[in-house]
Amino acid sequence: MKYYIIAGEASGDLHAANMMKALKNIDSKAEFRFWGGELMENIDGQLVKHYKDLAFMGFFEVVMNIRTISRNLKFCKADIKKFKPNCLIFIDYPGFNLRIAKWAKKESINTHYYISPQIWAWKESRISAIKRDVDKMYVILPFEKGYYEINHSMPVNFVGHPLIDAIADRKPTNEILFRKTHGLNQKPIIALLPGSRKQEINKMLSVMISVVKSFTDYQFVIAGAPSQDPIFYSSFIKNKNVYFVENNTYDLLSVAHAAVVTSGTATLETALFKVPEVVCYKTSWISYEIGKRLVKLKYISLVNLILDKEVVTELIQGAFNTKQLTKELNSILNGKRREEQFMDYHELETKLGGQGASQKVAKLIYNSLK
């Protein structure tokens, strides 16, 4: 079979790569062409465009790059027609992928969506396009199945969360070697995960680092995103107690005592590594003002959303400041708040459905094409 896959972010690259690996196990003749990153490229097939050239966050940023996005859409459609795949597989990235799905439906191309757009958070109006243009939907959050099937009469497949597979399949970290390799001392580590896009890193990292002076018994380690040049981070590192690790987030989390995390997939990854965390988010003023009028959720972090309670503290926009972050970070370094998060993390993993998401979705896609 020939599979054309579109992943527009680092997390999509990870999940798509694991799905591709599972597809190769059941379809020895699988051919892949894709938009994604190095992880997908390491599995097999042809990388068409890298996700680092596709990531535009916030309303203002999208408007400023509308011409680039339009050119990418036009190029993608032509590339799909040339490849003639048996199916299209979309990995999240809804702003782009739903436009391609609409076109693909008219071209009678089989469409599969793995990792649903978060229409339960905002843009619920997208449901009509999804029902019209997506042949098969595979969801990874437990509440999404009921949302689609009960609220919108659309059958979907709940396959569990692929992060559980990605974390379970990795080799254990040698902490002594990790610290030596990255020049770290023996102090407990507080991991800083400022996001993967340059715009959000610029907004998040300075505030994260501003608390360093209050925690001299710890060392702070920045998790560098694979999509960013390490040189970009150097301007933020002005304290001798701040270190940098390039493209090695999982090893970092496996040895971290606590973490400060930008809202997104990383909040769930941190929880699955059983690391107490504070979740933060800040964007441009105009993007925030528009977003808060459209997003109808009690929480922004996946941890809190899945468990439907405040497990991790969320510091959003103005609340994300040095004073508040210092207070919340102190609360998870020792004591009751820290222990409560550990207990909630175990409940979280149970709700996510256990291992096997990548294998499940690969089997469902392959069998549907047969």
Instruction: Encode pLDDT of 168-204 as tens digits.
Output: 888 899 999 999 999 999 999 999 999 988 888 998 9
Please tell me whether residues 110 and 33 are part of one structural domain.
Answer: yes
Mean pLDDT confidence for 307-314: 95
Q: CA 311 to CA 276: how far, in whole Å?
A: 10
Number of domains in the chain: 2
Average pLDDT over the chain reads: 91
pLDDT of 293 higher than 80: no
Rounded to whole angstroms, what are the CA distances from 10 to 2, 110, 199, 278? Answer: 23, 25, 15, 21
Please tell me whether residues 102 and 194 are part of one structural domain.
Answer: no
pLDDT of 227 higher than 90: no
CA-based torsion, 306, 268, 356, 148: positive or negative: positive
- Nearest-CA neighbor of 365 among 145, 148, 89, 6? 89
Q: CA 107 to CA 130: how far, in whole Å?
A: 16
Per DSSP, 135 falls in state S
Taking only the tens place, the pLDDT of each residue in 94-116 is 989 999 999 999 999 999 999 99
Please tell me whether residues 84 and 19 are part of one structural domain.
Answer: yes
Q: Which residues pair with 219 in a beta bridge?
A: 189
Please tell me whether residues 142 and 232 are part of one structural domain.
Answer: no
Quick one: what percent of the chain has pLDDT higher than 90?
A: 74
Looking at residue 137, which CATH number applies to its domain?
A: 3.40.50.2000
Q: CA 200 to CA 191: how far, in whole Å?
A: 17
pLDDT of 223 higher than 90: yes
Please tell me whether residues 330 and 183 are part of one structural domain.
Answer: yes
Please tell me whether residues 136 and 268 are part of one structural domain.
Answer: no
pLDDT of 289 higher than 60: no
Asked whether 158 and 364 are in contact (CB, 8 A), the reply is no
Note the pLDDT of residue 286.
64
| Pair of tokens at residue 96 | 């782009």
| Pair of tokens at residue 361 | 């979705």
Please tell me whether residues 181 and 155 are part of one structural domain.
Answer: no
Asked whether 283 and 203 are in contact (CB, 8 A), the reply is yes
Note the pLDDT of residue 122.
79
Q: Which domain holds residue 188?
A: 168-351
Q: CA 182 to CA 171: how far, in whole Å?
A: 18
Note the pLDDT of residue 354.
84
How sure is the predictor about 89, in pLDDT bands with cuts at 50, 70 and 90?
Answer: very high
Please tell me whether residues 290 and 360 are part of one structural domain.
Answer: no
Please tell me whether residues 104 and 175 are part of one structural domain.
Answer: no
Please tell me whether residues 176 and 137 are part of one structural domain.
Answer: no
How sure is the predictor about 332, in pLDDT bands with cuts at 50, 70 and 90?
Answer: very high
Please tell me whether residues 31 and 52 are part of one structural domain.
Answer: yes
Please tell me whether residues 81 and 119 are part of one structural domain.
Answer: yes
